[in-house]
A and B are shown apart, each in its own frame.
Chain A
Amino acid sequence: MSDQPLMRVSGLHKRFGDKTVVRDVSFTLARGEVKGIIGPSGAGKSTLIRCLNGLEPIEAGQVWLEDTELTARGADLDTLRSRIGFVFQDFNLFTHLTVRRNVTLALIKVKKLSRHDADHIAERELARVGMADKLEAYPAELSGGQQQRVSIARALAMEPELMLFDEPTSALDPQSVGSVLRVMRQLVAEGMTMIIVSHEMAFIEAVADDVLFMVDGAIVEEGSAQQIFHQPQQDATARFIDGIAAALIGDGGDEPASR
């Protein structure tokens, strides 16, 4: 593992109108690291991760992918984005294209691969996520979990240096959640660098090397999964974790689980 972090975020600030949604966020991401971002709804987690590949413009701060500053004026965002894989909560598969074409589109148009090479990669990645038999299906014919797995394959096909997951299972019914988490776990085992925004606490605890706990756009605490989930240093973190534990046990505790 090289010494230089794969991604560096420094002093990120984002506003929607006069509401500050991301407040002075800074962190680094090492190659091969899995970072989880948790927190109550409205904490700015989704907005933050969307800033990391330039989908949201920012008011202040910098984001670096290795040596290149994403947030610099005149940065080649298209090329940078082809190095970062992004998985959306709503999957966002291209509805007018088959599963195969969904995966090969960017390979052909952005990486300028031949249709033959692109198909080859598509078949490989779709097999990796267990969707090899649905090559010619259209998104509307697939379940939510299947669509999300295709969208992961679509991102992986670009051979990104890092993968960003924006609440990948929040829009899925409970049965499908497992199939998607299984794919993500596989990626972790293969050493993929990932940032995951999620409410699946057990999953985050199991796979994350480092966890960010956010409230109201700011990082309240950062630490290992062990620390955040079992020895939180901040009161807010403790309350959040307790609330979740209570909900899991079915305590009906005074703090509603912020899912």
Chain B
Amino acid sequence: MIYQTLWNNLPYLAEGAAMTVALAVALLVIGLAVGTALGLSQSYGAWPLRWGATLIERLFRAIPAVVLLFLFYYGISGFYDISSFAAAALALGLRSAAYQSQIFRGAIASVPSGQMAAARATGLTRRQAITAVVLPQALRQAIGPWTNEALSELKDTSLAYTIGVVELMRQADYIVSANYGHTLAVYGAAAVMYLLLSLAATWLLHRADAQLRVPGFAHS
């Protein structure tokens, strides 16, 4: 019976879900680190830095995720025995960095220029003004779009299936091939799990947002 099969294989699906989450976290962390660097370069860098950052960003946003996954996996495998998980985290992480850099750039641009002016007027150096005055405000502005990006990446981890990462999709695949006739139910269950993961992630991110909220500071 369908429910019996699903129940029996729940542990495997859960394993897949855990891998999905792990991959999502890994790629988001990479994306955050590199994305911030790219965003700052585009907002404040000298023109060579700005151009370089823009080039990287354009490249990683124009090439589809699956192509990037294959490029990284097969490209790096040539000279280093990389796991498919690492390749996926790297490929999707850098792609996310490109999208995140745009979010940060927009957030920085939305901080009124008067803030920077006031900071410099009190004697802060450019660097200090950026880190102590502009970035904290930009961060809060970025939370909304960043949440959207994070949820989007959670779903995109499913693409890592194509280079062999054993996340939720691949687990579902294994179960389907092992149990003839339950295709619809198993993939349906996988879909439901993604929905639950999305809901959990949304809740978590809203909690984080609430923690960071500054009274009276309007943001989207």
A and B touch in their complex, CB below 8 angstroms: no
